[in-house]
Chains A and B, each alone.
Chain A
């Protein structure tokens, strides 16, 4: 390990931390993974601080800072990074090998859009059952879920893309659920809407926010809570506008 400069080793620690943070790890797990990497790479005195938007790693007067702007959930990358950090800590992986593995994980393609669309449809359809839907609602919510995920890539590169994506998702969900019910009365429109937006919603983010707070990561907790509220607000606004639009359209058409 010693033949590599502190700089390049810090870079690797940072990469591991970034991979965990960007793919849905809790803040304590980010810091734990980075600490494990640093220990394995011969930097036991490294200091690490992670926030949902940035990572700082410092050792021997040298420091690295990463700005994190994309936060998603990819459990395969998370599991791989976790595994690499544990093997590095136990000295089973060389510097080059771990670098290759982590860079491979960072560059690995996520699930295909088709898988995501089917997953989103399945989640939407199933959740509509939990809110009073039956077979008809199940089918409608499935289509809505697929649609919501289908428009997702349009927003992923955009500035404020997550907010716009959620707003549009809510809008499409409300209009589609309403419009279908004019043609075929399939059951509870509300259940279809709630099911359709469920994959966009952030109850998970909120739970993670509270867990972060309980682990003592106060800044992360508050940041994630604000993110969750903002996302829920954008979805609700989308649904509201969609319902109003559908009511106006319905008034004209019917």
Chain B
């Protein structure tokens, strides 16, 4: 349980730090950080506790994050990128890429390959999850656009 709590604090703070770095509008900082935390917790619970696969855990976490971000974007009339970039930060495998590159400069090819492949797997899961969900929202938005005149 302590592990989950530390993960929650880490993901929340990490997303919030990036919210400042990416200069998010002030009213979006808190919801974005919370979304980032939720996404990471979903991943932690699915992967470490429920024993689901690596790709599935990242995929479902990303889908939930993207759905919330797209809804926030509609609600606050801002482009979804504003929310999505920051909320995905705790999930995105920067560490694995670093790990692969560090192994390369340390002349450890096998470890570089292992880390790099894992990074590519995770990136694929996140990118597919985010893109598929976003596209669904765009199709839905286009359909309701004619009726409501409200933009996303």
Tell me if A206 counts as interface (CB < 8 A to partner B): yes
B23 CB to closest chain A CB (Å) equals 5
Tell me if A150 counts as interface (CB < 8 A to partner B): no
Known: A79-B79, A206-B119. A232 touches B92 (CB 8 A): no
Chain A residues with CB below 8 A from B130, complex form: 207, 211
**How large, as a class, is the contact surface on chain A?**
35 or more
Q: In the complex, which residues 90-123 of chain A have their Cβ closer than 8 Å to any Cβ of chain B? A: 110-111, 115-116, 118-123
Partner of B17, one of A124, A204, A235: A124
**Of A11-19, A50-58, A156-164, A194-202, the one touching chain B:** A194-202
Tell me if B147 counts as interface (CB < 8 A to partner A): no
Contact A240 B102 (CB under 8 A): yes
Q: Which of A126, A127, A145 has the most CB of B within 10 A?
A: A126
Contact A228 B97 (CB under 8 A): yes
Chain A residues with CB below 8 A from B82, complex form: 75, 78-79
Q: Which of A79, A115, A118 has the most CB of B within 10 A?
A: A79
Contact B102 A215 (CB under 8 A): no
A residues adjacent to B (C-beta < 8 A): 24-26, 29, 73-79, 82-83, 86, 110-111, 115-116, 118-131, 134, 145, 194, 197-199, 201-204, 206-207, 210-211, 214-215, 228-229, 232-233, 235-237, 239-240
Contact A122 B20 (CB under 8 A): yes
Contact A76 B23 (CB under 8 A): yes
Closest to A74 in B: B23
Contact B17 A214 (CB under 8 A): no
Chain B residues with CB below 8 A from A203, complex form: 92-97, 119, 123
A183 CB to closest chain B CB (Å) equals 25
Q: How far is the CA of A134 from the CA of B151 in the complex (A)?
A: 44
8 residue pairs from A and B, CB less than 8 Å apart: A111-B20, A125-B13, A203-B95, A204-B88, A206-B92, A207-B88, A229-B101, A232-B97
Q: How far is the CA of A28 from the CA of B49 in the complex (A)?
A: 37
Partner of B23, one of A73, A194, A198: A73
Chain B residues with CB below 8 A from A198, complex form: 14, 94-95
Tell me if B131 counts as interface (CB < 8 A to partner A): yes
Chain A residues with CB below 8 A from B126, complex form: 207, 210
Contact B81 A215 (CB under 8 A): no
Q: How far is the CA of A86 from the CA of B150 in the complex (A)?
A: 11
Beyond A207-B88, A232-B101: 16 further Cβ-contacts under 8 Å?
A29-B81, A75-B24, A75-B82, A76-B23, A86-B151, A111-B23, A123-B21, A131-B95, A194-B95, A199-B21, A203-B95, A206-B92, A206-B93, A206-B119, A210-B124, A210-B126
Partner of A75, one of B7, B13, B23: B23
Chain A residues with CB below 8 A from B23, complex form: 73-77, 110-111
Contact B79 A29 (CB under 8 A): yes
Known: A76-B25, A115-B20, A207-B123. A130 touches B131 (CB 8 A): no
Q: In the complex, which residues 72-111 of chain B have their Cβ closer than 8 Å to any Cβ of chain A? A: 77-79, 81-82, 85-86, 88-90, 92-98, 100-102, 104-106
